[in-house]
Amino acid sequence: VYSLDGLLVFGLLLVCTCAYLRKVPRLRTWLLSERRGIWGVCHKAAVIGTRLHVAVSVSCLLMAAYVLVGK
């Protein structure tokens, strides 16, 4: 997370992981029910991932191409 591209990769992975965990019913009530603190960040990332799923998936594909080819 020491460079801009590392920060972007970390953010995209956080959004994708939290959005995936939101789809699992048991984990949704256990992990993503709190809206404050670190779990609040996960909740907000899950909301971003589910509402903007097309933009997030395109961003993940572009970042993967950049990491594999560009670096």
Number of domains composing the chain = 1
- Per the listing, tokens 């020491």 go with 2
pTM score over 0.95: no
pLDDT at 32: 66
- Cβ pair 1, 63 in contact under 8 A: no
Confidence class of residue 42 from pLDDT cuts 50, 70 and 90? confident
Residue 49 Cα distances to 40, 41, 53, 68, 69, angstroms = 14, 12, 5, 23, 25
pLDDT at 70: 83
Q: Which domain holds residue 19?
A: 2-70
Judged on CB neighbours under 10 Å (0-12, 13-18, 19+), 63 is middle
Q: Answer with the residue of higher pLDDT: 32 or 13.
A: 13
Average pLDDT over residues 20-41: 79
- Cβ pair 56, 16 in contact under 8 A: yes
